[in-house]
A and B are shown apart, each in its own frame.
Chain A
Amino acid sequence: MSDDLVTKVEEMTDGATVVERGRPGEHLPREHEDEFHADHHVYEPHRVGLPPMRSYLRELWRRRQFAFEMSRTTLRAQHFDTAFGQLWLVLNPLLLTCVYFLLVDILRGGGRGAVFFAHLMAGLFAFHFISGALTQGAKSVVGGGRLILNTAFPRTLLPLSAVLTSFLRFLPCILVYAVMHTIAGLPFGPHLLWVIPVFAIIVIFAAGVTMLVAALQVYFRDVSSFLPYFNRIWMYASPVLYYLTEVPQNLRHIININPLTPMFGALSEVLVLGHRASTGYLLWGLAWAVGALLVGGIFFISREREFAVRL
């Protein structure tokens, strides 16, 4: 029991029936809605669609173990806890990189080297993380049927767990990239630490978009069918298969509205060009990430109590 409840107990005026039952009185005549408190819940219609956010976030944090366990069991169900499962996890994006390298190199008349391969690989791995989070996330709420019908818990745990699953699948890719980084003769140094804030921005952005997609999937079940095509086009419109500097002037405005442009641009700066990420990219990417988190989060949380009747 939290401290504020203890004080409420002390404020209780009439304790007669309470003592008789041998239970602490936790009731005050008019409390505000606090549905996500552990022991005392008040449910009222939401005035603006959003539950009280402080207690919502507190409960979300308290149940983070669920998200971890959910990701772990999902991976185990897909056999990624075995050696060959791990190998496949790495092999899939690696082969994809080879395919795209051949394709891009041939279209460009050949002559691209290991450095471009490293750029391609970093971009594909990072994009793989985002598209994986979206694909998993779209299924997360709709696939959570019985649990949602039986238990009250912050539903954002489901899409966030999907992001976590995708991130865990991404981790072994780092090793593969490290090997490629060495082969390409790209510089190692403290500047590589800039990957951490850049990737943090990518993760936040992915979380926001995943929540949006997870909620949309409840209303339109064909969202997950469109998703692969959407992802494919999104990747082509991102600086993955080409350097950002190669984009012709007349297409600049298109690539500039892509949220992934600053994020992947910064990633390539750090890994391939070997210097710190430029502040402009970081701030631009961060703005997109925070925006996506707010839009996705608010849309999801304001709708989540309706999910139970939509499943």
Chain B
Amino acid sequence: MSSLSVSDPTVVGGAPHPPIANPAVRVEDLSVTYRTTYEARPTLRTTLVRAGRRERLVREIEAVKDVSFEVAHGTVLGVVGVNGAGKSTLMRTVAGILPPTAGRVEVDGRVSTLLALGVGFNRDLSGRENVILGGLAAGLERDELEEKYDEIVKFAELEDFMDMPMRTYSSGMYGRLAFSVAVNMDPDILLVDEALSVGDARFKKKSLRRMRQLCDRAGTILIVSHALGTIRALCTEIVWMHKGKMVMWGDPDTVISEYTRFMDVGETDVALEDL
């Protein structure tokens, strides 16, 4: 990673298309800076100890700096970049989970998110309870959920496991259920972060097919992935982020070849599959 910081990519400006009148997502001059503590579990005790030693307790992280782009309805936008480029922060801001520090994000349509792996937030509850709780939190009505429930379970192929606590699930099952919930909510806009790495090859294929279906119905997808092959096959536009800044925004072929050239890996099979 250190070799990358020596030569940062030069920012290639310019949007690939003129401004859209009615975009699904519009990000304007977005900056996200957040303060975080050094400790994973900040406590009153350590805070007092540090304050006694006059240590700085928090540091600021500029995760996204002055990023602007637009996504038209029916578009699949891929976001690529090395670890720590600010991709996940960008997605969380579009989802409304993290607040912008400056700038503005506008999202037009019902959003479904797959940003943290696993819908579940309580592993002691059953898959069924987690699906319902997640759906209700996302703002779905109970009868809407009842209606979609069978489809979600069937797509995830977890018919026999829904009444078991989620701590008994394998990571693949976890991911499959999460993906199934996100994609079966009939969203206008789907935000996906690194979710294609779960499940076996067959499920991956099924997931891709399902996402294409969504686009055919004028759905919009924003997807973060390191699997460049998938990104190229699925996306109509790509944004390349580096250290919080947008380096490039354009069609998949151009951006991916520039990105792989920068990464100095070449467009080998390995690079295209999983970086």
Flag if B137 contacts A21 (CB, 8 Å): no
Is the C-beta of A62 less than 8 angstroms from some C-beta in chain B?
yes
Bound Cα distance from A310 to B132, whole angstroms: 25
Is B52 at the interface (CB under 8 A from chain A)?
no
Least distance between A139 CB and chain B CB atoms (Å): 11
Question: Are A305 and B73 also in contact (CB < 8 A) when A66-B133, A150-B113, A153-B138 are?
Answer: no
B186 within 8 A of A: no
Is B53 an interface residue, CB under 8 A from the partner?
no
**A residues near B45, Cβ cutoff 8 Å:** 222
Mark the stretch among B96-104, B204-212, B226-234 that contacts chain A: B96-104
In the bound complex, residues from chain A placing their C-beta under 8 Å from that of B72 are: 21
- Contacting residues, chain B, for A144 (C-beta < 8 A): 121
> Which one of A26, A38, A220 contacts B139 once the chains associate, using CB atoms below 8 Å?
A38
Q: Is B98 a contact partner of A63 (Cβ separation < 8 A)?
A: no
CB-based contact A42/B137 at 8 Å = no
User: Whole-angstrom distance between the alpha carbons of A153 and B107 in the complex?
Assistant: 15
B interface, size bucket: 35 or more
Q: Which of B47, B74, B104 has the most CB of A within 10 A?
A: B104
Q: How far is the CA of A70 from the CA of B135 in the complex (A)?
A: 12
Interface segment, one of A43-51, A125-133, A234-242, A265-273: A43-51
Instruction: For the complex, give the distance between the alpha carbons of A194 and B212 in Å.
Output: 61
**Interface check A134, CB cutoff 8 A:** no
**Are B106 and A220 in contact, CB atoms less than 8 angstroms apart?**
no
Residue of B nearest to A17 (CB): B21
Write out the residue numbers on chain A whose beta carbons fall within 8 Å of the beta carbon of B132: 69
A43 touching B99 in the complex, CB below 8 Å, given contacts A23-B22, A23-B73: yes
A219 adjacent to B42 (CB under 8 Å):
yes
- CB contact between A147 and one of B47, B92, B110, B134 (< 8 Å): that residue: B134
Nearest-neighbor residue (CB-CB) of A66 within chain B: B136
Complex partner residue of B133 from A17, A73, A223, CB under 8 angstroms: A73
Chain A residues, Cβ within 8 Å of B95:
151-152
**How many angstroms between the C-alpha atoms of A65 and B142 in the bound complex?**
8
The answer to whether B34 touches A309 (Cβ under 8 A) is yes
B125 touches A22 (CB 8 A): no
Shortest distance in angstroms between A185's beta carbon and chain B's nearest beta carbon? 45
**Structural contact, B115 and A150, CB atoms closer than 8 A:** yes
Q: Are A35 and B73 in contact (CB under 8 A)?
A: no
Q: Among A22, A39, A59, A305, which residue has its beta carbon within 8 angstroms of that of B218?
A: A22
Interface hits, A218-236 → B, CB 8 Å = 219-223, 226
- Interface pair B101/A150, CB less than 8 Å apart: no
Q: Is B41 a contact partner of A27 (Cβ separation < 8 A)?
A: no
Q: Is A296 an interface residue (CB 8 A)?
A: no
Query: Cα distance A144–B120 when bound, in Å?
Result: 9
Given contacts A21-B74, A147-B134, contact A220 B44 (CB under 8 A): yes
Report how far A308 CA is from B93 CA in the complex, Å: 11
Q: How many angstroms between the C-alpha atoms of A41 and B142 in the bound complex? A: 22
Is A151 touching B218 in the complex (CB atoms < 8 A)? Answer: no
Q: CB within 8 Å of A: which of B12-40?
A: 20-23, 34-37
Verify B98–A310 contact, CB threshold 8 A.
no
- Residue of A at shortest CB range from B26? A27
Query: Smallest Cβ distance from B30 to chain A, in angstroms?
Result: 9
| Beta-carbon contact of A151 and B97 below 8 Å | yes
Contact B42 A305 (CB under 8 A): no
B97-A152 in contact (CB<8A): yes
Q: Give 24 A-B contacts (CB < 8 Å), ordered by A residue.
A: A14-B21, A21-B72, A25-B21, A25-B22, A26-B108, A31-B106, A35-B96, A39-B108, A39-B110, A43-B107, A45-B100, A62-B139, A63-B136, A69-B129, A73-B125, A77-B122, A77-B125, A148-B97, A151-B138, A152-B111, A220-B44, A308-B92, A309-B35, A309-B36
Sample of 17 further A-B pairs with CB below 8 A, known A65-B141, A153-B137: A18-B21, A27-B22, A35-B96, A43-B96, A43-B100, A63-B137, A65-B136, A66-B137, A69-B129, A73-B122, A77-B122, A147-B121, A150-B113, A150-B119, A220-B43, A223-B44, A306-B35
A-B pairs, 5 with minimum CB distance: A147-B121, A152-B96, A66-B136, A149-B116, A220-B44
A interface residues (Cβ-Cβ under 8 A, vs B): 14, 16-18, 21-23, 25-27, 31, 35, 38-46, 59, 62-63, 65-66, 69-70, 73, 77, 143-153, 157, 219-223, 226, 305-306, 308-310
